[in-house]
Structure 1
Amino acid sequence: MASKRKFSPLWNHFDSTEPKKAKCNYCSKILTLSSSSIGTLSRHMKKVHPTVNITPKRLESIDESEENSNQNAQAATTSSTISVVTTTTSSGTIPTVTTANIISATKGKVAATTVKDYIVVKKPLPLIRTQQLDEQLIKMIAKGYHAFRLVEEKEFQKFVDMLNPSYKLPTRKTLSESLLPKLYNRTIESMKKEVGGGSATAVCITTDGWRSVTNDDYIGITAHFIDPETHILRTVMIGCLQFNESHTMINISEFLKEKFREWCIDQKICAIVSDNASNILGAVRIGGWRSISCFAHTINLVVKDSLEIIADTVIKVKNVVEFFNRSLPAQRKLKEIQEQMHLAPLKLKQDVCTRWNSTYDMLNRFLKIKEALIASIAIMRAELALTPNDWMIIEKSLPILSIFYEVSNEVSAENYVSASKYIVLCKLMYVQIQKFSNETVETIKGLVSFFKTELMHRFGDIEKNMLLREATILDPRFKKSGFRDIRNVEAAAADLKLKIGRIVLSDERPLQPAEPVEPTPGCSKVSSLWEQFDEEVARQVPENPVAAGIVEFDKYMNEPQINRHCDPLLWWKERKAIYPRLHSHMLKRLNITATSVPCERVFSKAGLHLTIEERA
């Protein structure tokens, strides 16, 4: 079997898992091998994967090269003669080499050879190199959301041929039915080993539901964990699957459990972050997981409700923006006036009803080109002009809205720690809103009052959330300074001391009573000399993990806070040996994300490419 496995090209499509078993690289099916193992593999490929070419491309290239050589030899009907012509100049006689093509008299078989025919030789690529290029091609298509028809584009084919004439692009069918499934299965297996059976100590989940333009329902799940070696926050999408069942709490809970078991992370879930949908929150509660509401989604609800207070002004702004977006003469007039005023030619922005940030962008841009807009509206559509009171509302509401705009952008990233900012940002939002308490304009006063009420209603008890307050304390950028109420800090510190005191490190053993050490003959004087010192050191070293945990925590809290722009995970990496118990608990808290935005990004990308035409 070794010789067959070594020389048969079929083994390029299978992995030998154990004696007399082989795993297909495309469908992951395990085949039991008989004495005629090659026949078993061949039948599977022809029946299940008929589009996969079993013959190595290297051999195909050699055959094609030989065939092309024979055809060129038969079709060659020209010969070249070389003549030397001497040219006399002032510096002497210079020989010049010229070539003359003598066309064969064979009728109907006239062909001209060029220098390229003799110099450019398409050497066949090694099989490994071809596989590497195929894999990189499918990665480019998958990550860039390109269509498979890219390989059929003539200009792209010419581009690839110019880069490497020896590389033959795979067909569209080979990409979709062979290369993509093979890479997908290999990637999934690699990620499962890393997340489920690998380095992930604790996993935070973000999940959300989505309905496509074709009314198909999907559920997305992303996993977040900290690599304990590199201390980098990792994100892995473990599922974006069609969900055809009724979206009840029980069904969603069972779906999540099944996916967690599949990835072997059902015992590693530290929190699930989602929006405020009642069915998802109920599913998390049924599953027995800890739940955190999406920070960005909650802020979006607060600000969208607040915009109702200035709705009249916002509607007028929308009408102006829609007019300029529909009318080309109006756009040209606005640009012309901006140039006359020596202003940067900025276009108006249209808001989107589902994202309040877009409303802020619309108002902000509207105010930036105020003078040019006033002049353009007066010329094109005077009835759309805003009143002085409308302009004042825009000017005074933007600084207030900018607080929430900045917070939304701050917590929406997935590549750095965000859960520890949850409590801190709530504190900062409330402090900033307080600065606008002396506003005299009635509309703005109502806006400020609304924000105060909503912040207290939605985030008033946020410091009592066990996961978030522990994440805040364990972030060396914030610690206790992120809290408004010192009592919450004290309660969180007491809980943390108890938890880290129960952590038993891998290199620790239960304490055993020490046996008296008999002094070495002749060393009694030395032993008595160090006796007092050894006793003092023994009193300082904690005798049990609880005491050691308290010492670690107190020492950590007494260290100075680091700069807000520093990476807290890098700080913990450098002090892993100093605070081993705190470090172990930190891996279960700083991996938590403050929002479910990472999962929603999957749907945003899918929405750009999943169209009715492609699904029909």
Structure 2
Amino acid sequence: MAASKERQIHSPPGLTASVWQYFRFYQRANETTDKTYTICKICKAKIKYLSNTTNMRQHLVRFHPETEKDPPTVPTTQRTILETVSKLPKNSQKAKSITKAIATFIATDLRPYSVGLDPNIRLFGYSGRKHFAEKEIPHLYNETKANVLASMEKASRIALTCDAWTSVATKSFVTITAHFVLASDKNGWKLVSHVLQTREMSESHTGANVAELLKLAAAEWQISDKDLVLVTDNASNMVVAAQKANFVHLKCYAHTANLASQKALKLAAVAKLLARIRRISTFFHRSTTGLHLLEENQKLLGLKRHKLKTDVCTRWNSAYEMTERFLEQQPAITATLLSPQLLQNTEPNTEDSPLVRDIKKAIHDDLSSRYTSEAEKSLLYTASALDPRFKALPFLSEEEREQTYGKVIAEAASLEQEVRVEEKTPEDNARAAAAVTSDTEEDQEKELPSAPPAKRSCTLLENLLGPAFTNQAPEPISAYTRAKDEMAKYRLALTPSLQEDPLLWWSVHQVLYPMIANVAKRYLCIPGSSVSAERVFSTAGDIVTAQRSTLKSEHIDQLVFLHKNVCVPDSGTDDEKSDEDE
């Protein structure tokens, strides 16, 4: 429609935004308003209208910036955010859901109980620290504990790790973690780990006291019948505790490797070299001038601006990382130390073959004194045989290999028989008892003289073809024979690469070796180290801070437990429910 046949009108009264004081619509000849475009009152430009003010505001900013000196007016009737929030009734379902969400936030994000005192949270009408500490967190703990118990109930064997630590308040705690393998047709094999408890232990950490703590924990978590394996460090009290608690015990490989490596690092030549690197690293950590010059030299030489590392005696690999970082930054370090501002006397030191031999001998001698128990070695050999990556057992003699394979075969057959006994119903047992009684009666009848059986007349077809087509039931194959056949096939299977996950391998191949797979679940759940318990210490350190050093031990236990387990889904009867929860 031509512009001459149109006339401009003011914007409709319902549009109250401040920008409308500069724009209007066209009105057609038939008295209808054309809202396809708006007309700028200042420059008469046509601006496409999309039911919002964005295009109009951009036009004003670009072509009429002088209009911005008048800020848009806010209606005096507009309420603030605080005024729009209304308190919910405490017993309402929405209020309960929000309270539970806040409790979960406290546990997962390591927040203090006093987060409930935040004014924005109290707007919803919830209580403060005491409410969360004494009601919400314990309720969430009991709920999550029930999920963990249901999860562990499905495990055939559970491995525990145990370690002690001291809080900033100089209170001693012992943390216990659990590990097991869950297998399902839909999700495959999955290694599941839970932090069970973190309990204060004020008495002496003797083997007897630790054993009592472990037995109480096993009873509380209903896992005493799960053929428990305990993984700890090499401390003598832990060895005694495992014996007194009647647990299969395995020493932490990481701790053992560290002890052996520390023996090598204490050799005179090695210790002298590490001491020099350590002094240089410590110097750059303490000297701001030296660190500044080092960073400048790193930039000039095109090296990454990495800080030097200093080793820690409790971690053997920290000495390796310190040396590796020193060699990486050696050009920049040399340039910095030889600068006129920082002149240091350093002497080069290279490792030669005799030194390498001394290091290997020191490590070998120390490792030879570890894992001396036959039960411990048998456990490690069996676990290696059931890991498809190491099933060839090249580190063992031929006799030891065959003994290990034989142990797996015997255990597989035993598990198969146990499963068959458990699966029998009372009717099956009654029939079995009746069969035994019948057999006994038959044996007794055999002892008495009896008349010879009556001869049955045979047909011509039976006389002709009977011997070739006699209907004889096949002889049953024993569980041991079937396990032996599975082991033979398993040993001949293609060995996967070292990068492959053994649990993923077994989830795919368990249909081929079902009896051996049952044994693998019992051994591949055992962690090689007790690191999982030690990792809890850092979490506990974030909870028991200097500002929260007076937390009760039961609250520490609940918060550590929830931080590690609160995401455990409710136990379902089918895999689909678990997937949805996860």
Q: Give the structure-2-normalised TM-score.
A: 0.68
Q: 336, 345, 362: which one pairs with 2:322?
A: 362
Indicate which of 517, 533, 538 corresponds to 2:474: 538
What CA distance in whole angstroms lies between the structure 2 residues aligned with 1:368 and 1:82?
A: 67
Structure 2 residue aligned with 1:548: 482
C-alpha displacement of 1:199:
0.4
Q: Offset at 1:548?
A: 2.6
Q: Sort the Cα spacing of 1:566 and 1:443 in 2 relative to 1 into closer, same or farther, 3 A.
A: closer
Q: Which residue of 2 aligns with 1:246?
A: 204
Is residue 107 of structure 2 the alignment partner of residue 142 of structure 1? yes
Q: Distance in 2 between matches of 1:335 and 1:83?
A: 56
From 308, 314, 321, the equivalent of 1:348 is: 308
- The separation in 1 between residues aligned to 2:143 and 2:377, in whole angstroms, is 39
* Residue 299 (str. 1) matches residue 247 (str. 2): no
Flag structure 1 segments of 5+ consecutive residues without an equivalent: 1-79, 97-110, 394-438, 516-521
Q: Does 1:580 align with 2:514?
A: yes
Task: Give the Cα separation in 2 of the matches to 1:475 and 1:193.
Answer: 28
Q: Which residue of 1 aligns with 2:182?
A: 227
2:190 matches 1:190: no
Structure 1 position 335, deviation (Å): 0.7
**SS class of match (1:502):** helix
Q: Secondary structure at the match of 1:201?
A: coil
Give, in whole Å, the separation in 1 of the partners of 2:22 and 2:343. 86
Find the residue that maps to 1:458 and give its secondary structure.
coil
3-state SS, counterpart of residue 379 of structure 1: coil
C-alpha deviation, 1:450, in angstroms: 1.9
Change (3 A) 1:89 1:266: closer
One-letter identity of the residue aligned with 2:93: I
Pick from 403, 408, 414 the counterpart of residue 496 of structure 1: 408
Give the match's secondary structure for 2:175: strand
Q: How is 1:93-242 mapped onto 2 (pairs within 5 angstroms)? A: 113-115=76-78, 122=85, 127-152=92-117, 157=120, 171-195=128-152, 198-229=153-184, 230=187, 231-242=189-200
What is the deviation of 1:483? Answer: 3.2
**Is the 8 Å Cα contact of residues 552 and 579 (structure 1) preserved in structure 2?**
yes
CA distance in 2, matches of 1:598, 1:444: 32
Aligned residues: 453
User: RMSD over aligned Cα, in angstroms?
Assistant: 4.0
Structure 1 contact 374–385 (Cα < 8 Å) conserved = no
1:200 match: secondary structure: coil
Counterpart amino acid of 2:389?
R
Q: 1:286 aligned to 2:244?
A: yes
Distance apart, 1:275 and its partner CA: 0.6
**Shift in Å at residue 129 of structure 1?**
3.8
Paired residue type of 1:373: I
Q: Which of 518, 523, 526 is the equivalent residue of 1:592?
A: 526
Query: 1:308-346: CA deviations, max 9, x gaps?
Result: 121122122222122211111111111111111122211
One-letter amino acid of the structure 1 residue matched with residue 398 of structure 2: I
CA distances 1:376-407 after superposition (whole Å, capped 9, x unpaired):
11226756443112xx24xxxxxxxxxxxxxx
Sort the Cα spacing of 1:169 and 1:548 in 2 relative to 1 into closer, same or farther, 3 A.
same
Output one character per residue of 1:462-498: Cα deviation in whole Å (capped at 9) or x when no partner: 8972222111112222212453322211011122222
* Residues 257, 443 of structure 1: alpha-carbon distance in 2 compared, 3 angstrom cutoff: same
TM-score using structure 1 length: 0.65
Contact 1:316 1:384 in 2 (8 A): no
After superposition, the Cα gap between the structure-2 partners of 1:297 and 1:88, relative to the gap in structure 1 and judged at 3 Å, is closer
User: Once the two structures are superposed, what CA deviation does each residue of 1:21-69 show, in whole Å capped at 9, x if it has no partner?
Assistant: xxxxxxxxxxxxxxxxxxxxxxxxxxxxxxxxxxxxxxxxxxxxxxxxx
**1:285 Cα deviation from its structure 2 partner:** 0.8
Equivalence for 2:365: 453
Structure 1 stretch displaced more, 356-365 or 328-337: 356-365
Q: How does 1:404-423 map to 2 (within 5 A)?
A: none
Report the Cα distance in structure 1 between the residues aligned to 2:238 and 2:21, rounded to whole angstroms.
91
Kept after mapping to 2: 8 A contact 1:319/1:384: no
Aligned residues of 2:231 and 2:528 also touching (Cα < 8 A): yes
Q: Secondary structure at the match of 1:388?
A: coil
Counterpart pick for 1:325 among 268, 285, 296:
285
In the aligned structure 2, how far is the partner of 1:258 from the partner of 1:122?
49
CA distance in 2, matches of 1:86, 1:445: 90
> Does structure 1 conserve the Cα–Cα contact (< 8 Å) formed by 2:116 and 2:132?
no
Structure 1 distance, partners of 2:191, 2:16, is 69
Q: Tell me which amino acid in the other structure corresponds to 2:414.
A: R
Instruction: Mark the CA change 1:234 to 1:270 in structure 2 (over 3 Å): closer, same or farther.
Output: same
Q: How far apart, in 2, do the equivalents of 1:572 and 1:145 lie?
A: 37
**Shift in CA distance, 298/89, structure 1 to aligned 2, threshold 3 Å:** closer
Measure the CA separation in 1 of the matches of 2:177 and 2:356: 40
SS in 1 for 2:154: coil
Structure 1 residues 288 and 476: alpha-carbon distance in aligned structure 2, compared to 1, 3 A threshold: same
- How far apart are 1:597 and its partner, in Å? 0.6
CA distance in 1, matches of 2:528, 2:132: 38
| % identity of equivalent residues | 26
The 5 Å alignment of 1:15-26 reads none
Aligned residue identity for 1:355: R
One-letter amino acid of the structure 2 residue matched with residue 327 of structure 1: S
CA pair 324-151 structure 1, distance change in 2 beyond 3 A? farther
Distance in 2 between residues matched to 1:305 and 1:551, nearest whole Å: 45
- Name the aligned partner's letter for residue 554 of structure 1: A
Shift of the alpha carbon at 1:349? Answer: 1.7
Q: Which residue of 2 aligns with 1:261?
A: 219
Tell me which amino acid in the other structure corresponds to 2:319.
T
Structure 2 unaligned segments of length 5 or more: list them.
1-13, 40-73, 440-458, 551-582
Give the corresponding residue for 2:47. none
2-side partners of 1:326 and 1:595: how far apart? 35
1:614 aligns with 2:526: no
Tell me the residue number matched to 2:535: 601
Distance 2:316 2:17 in 1: 80
The secondary structure found in structure 2 opposite 1:291 is strand
Q: How far apart, in 1, do the equivalents of 2:17 and 2:402 lie?
A: 99
Per the alignment, do residues 496 and 329 of structure 1 end up closer, same or farther by CA in structure 2, a change over 3 Å counting?
same
Q: Is the 8 A contact 1:318 1:350 kept in 2?
A: yes
Match of 2:555 in 1: none
Do the aligned partners of residues 561 and 128 (structure 1) sit closer, same or farther apart at CA in structure 2, a change above 3 Å counting?
farther
Cα contact 1:223–1:237 (8 A) shared by 2: yes
Partner of 1:558: 492
Report the 3-state secondary structure (helix = DSSP H, G, I; strand = E; otherwise coil) of the residue aligned with 1:209.
Answer: strand
Q: Which amino acid aligns with 1:194?
A: S
Which of 1 and 2 has higher RCO (CA within 8 Å, sep 6+)?
Answer: 2
1:356-505 correspondence runs (5 A): 356-379=316-339, 384-389=344-349, 392-393=350-351, 439-440=352-353, 442-458=354-370, 465-503=377-415, 504=417, 505=419
